[in-house]
Structure 1
Amino acid sequence: MNRTPGTKPVAVIVGATSKWQSDGRNTRLAHGRTLDDGDLPAGVRWGVGGAIAQKFAQEGFFTVLTTRAAANASALAEAIRAQGGDCMIVELDLVSQDSIAAAFATIRREAGDPEVLVYNAGYLEGRDLPPGQELLEYIPVAMFDTALHIACRGPFLVAREVLPIMRRRGGGSLLFSNNSKSLRGRKRMAGESVYYPRVMMRALAQVLTEEYSEHGVHVANVVIDGTIDSPGTRALPKIRQQPDLAMNPVKIAEAFFYLHTQDRSCWTHELQLTPFSTTPSH
């Protein structure tokens, strides 16, 4: 890279793209094809991760997009650069501790020490389960392992990569993107019981707040309580019928940036975002 580390503050977005983007896994599962997103604004095309990445780049951050495969984020990177922002793509597989360590070594070497890390990695396990086999007794252990890596072990390993320098520097933000399944269990969709590792992510945020706030590190858990607007979710029947149910990822991204810029005299630890047309989860 032709860049001197440290010339801009660094924001790392773990999970910068969406499984509901036009060619995402869940889009293809739900609709059987890749969707045309040419008529959608850039802020919506890559879900929350893409919107957050664009927001921090627009605010002058060098934005690091992490994804399992670089091709997943190439269009997002092009959009950020077209808007005048700076970014790089780093491959990171949350299942592998070695991959996480190598990714952050690359980030520190080529971008610099992160000032902000947004952990937005997500999963929609259970969507492949046949009807009538959504109970825990039918859930494959491999499916649970994926959930554990992404919502529990992954956040722990990623936090270890950024918290030491944030503590020594006396500042920084570690922001977790979570959902309402971290608040309570529900019988709703296929494989719902595989989501309880989300509770552990929320607990980790609580523990890290207790441990690192006094060192100037802002840790927050953001509960995104609803369906996020993106190419794949916009085409779902329930969103077609009730567009107000879709949460605008650009506005979600503004909430994340707001958390990073809060005065330390009044930090928010947990923020819940819910569409006006629904009842908040508790």
Structure 2
Amino acid sequence: MELGLTGKSVFVAAASKGLGKASALEFAREGAKVTIASRNLDQLSQARDEIWAATGQEVTMVQMDVFHPEDIQRAIQTAVSAYGGIDVLVANAGGPPSGQFTDMADADWVRGFELSLLSTIRFIREALPYLRTSGGRIVNLTSTSIKQPIQGLILSNVFRAGVQALTKSLAAELAPDGILINTVAPGRIGTERITELDTVRAASLGVTLEDIQQAATAQIPLGRTGTPEEFARMVVFYGSFANTYVTGQSLLVDGGMVRAI
């Protein structure tokens, strides 16, 4: 299938590691000109070098903290300056801290909102003039918590669901401009984030990390944890120009884990 990504300008946030990095790599494999952004400059540089070595594609990087709106503005403008515009936006950010409702103070709620929802709003707002010109694509990365709340992740449950509500709302608003916007939500994908959450849960229950991982895998019909590459391929399709008629939707990449209809 021809994805129509050759030479396209693709911006991927939080791309120094994990799902963002895997997505940036897959876009580059398809011939896109990728801009990657993240807070950690060392990890970002390593990701850029790895993507270039694997694909031979030019990669632009920009240091960015999603809590600073001026950083988001500068990051988007870096992509525009490098490649003449933006054709695809992948809005992504690290997950908020774990915890129960009673663990969270006002400051935690505000920070969770800024990290998981407001950052997505800011990315879209800054990229929108260029996406309107190109009739572009937006892919928002969230979590299966948009369909089924995850125990101990109250902040993620609330604000990632907000991202999907934003996606659904913007699908109608942006359709006249030819912009398609969708959400891709990972289940248990083998990243540092999953290991960190499993470690916290194991400590709270007084069991081993292996116990938590085995119990979690048992809930997945396919019987295993997914890979970042498997997730990234779905991001690339939804962010591609082979996708011509899917917008406002949420795709769960979870091996069948979530049973919700």
Q: What residue number does 2:144 align with?
A: 180
Distance 1:239 1:78, change over 3 A: farther
Task: Choose which of 83, 88, 102 in structure 2 pairs with 1:116.
Answer: 88
Q: What residue number does 1:140 align with?
A: 105
Letter in 2 for 1:261: F
Letter in 1 for 2:154: S
Distance 1:279 1:98, change over 3 A: closer
Residues 192-246 of structure 1 show CA distances to partners (whole Å, capped at 9, x for unaligned) of 222211111111111110101121101001122x221135746952446749431
Report sequence identity in percent.
Answer: 20
- Contact 1:174/1:217 (8 A) holds in 2: yes
Residues 116-145 of structure 1 show CA distances to partners (whole Å, capped at 9, x for unaligned) of 11112121403xxxxxxx442331333222
Task: Choose which of 247, 253, 261 in structure 2 pairs with 1:273.
Answer: 253
Task: Choose which of 39, 52, 58 in structure 2 pairs with 1:81.
Answer: 52
- Contact 1:222/1:270 (8 A) holds in 2: yes
Distance 1:184 1:61, change over 3 A: same
Distance 1:164 1:223, change over 3 A: same
Query: Take 2:213 and 2:18, find their aligned partners in 1: how far apart are those partners?
Result: 15
- Contact 2:12/2:90 (8 A) holds in 1: yes
Q: What residue number does 2:202 align with?
A: none
Query: Take 1:56 and 1:219, find their aligned partners in 2: how far apart are those partners?
Result: 17
Q: 1:10 Cα shift? A: 1.0
For 1:228, what is the secondary structure of its paired residue? coil
For 1:156, what is the secondary structure of its paired residue? helix
Query: Take 1:102 and 1:79, find their aligned partners in 2: how far apart are those partners?
Result: 24
C-alpha RMSD of the superposition? 2.4
Letter in 1 for 2:27: F
Q: 1:270 Cα shift? A: 2.2
- Contact 2:87/2:130 (8 A) holds in 1: no
Structure 2: state its 5+ residue gaps. 1-5, 199-208
- Work out whether 1:61 is the aligned partner of 2:41: no
Q: 1:147 Cα shift? A: 1.2
The TM-score, its normalising length taken from structure 1, stands at 0.75
- Work out whether 1:158 is the aligned partner of 2:123: yes
- Contact 2:39/2:65 (8 A) holds in 1: yes
For 1:275, what is the secondary structure of its paired residue? coil
Structure 1: state its 5+ residue gaps. 1-6, 18-45, 127-133
Runs of 4+ with >6 A deviation: none
Query: Take 1:266 and 1:9, find their aligned partners in 2: how far apart are those partners?
Result: 19
Query: Take 1:257 and 1:198, find their aligned partners in 2: how far apart are those partners?
Result: 20
Query: Take 2:105 and 2:224, find their aligned partners in 1: how far apart are those partners?
Result: 31
Query: Take 2:166 and 2:148, find their aligned partners in 1: how far apart are those partners?
Result: 16
Query: Take 1:239 and 1:86, find their aligned partners in 2: how far apart are those partners?
Result: 38
Q: What residue number does 1:129 align with?
A: none
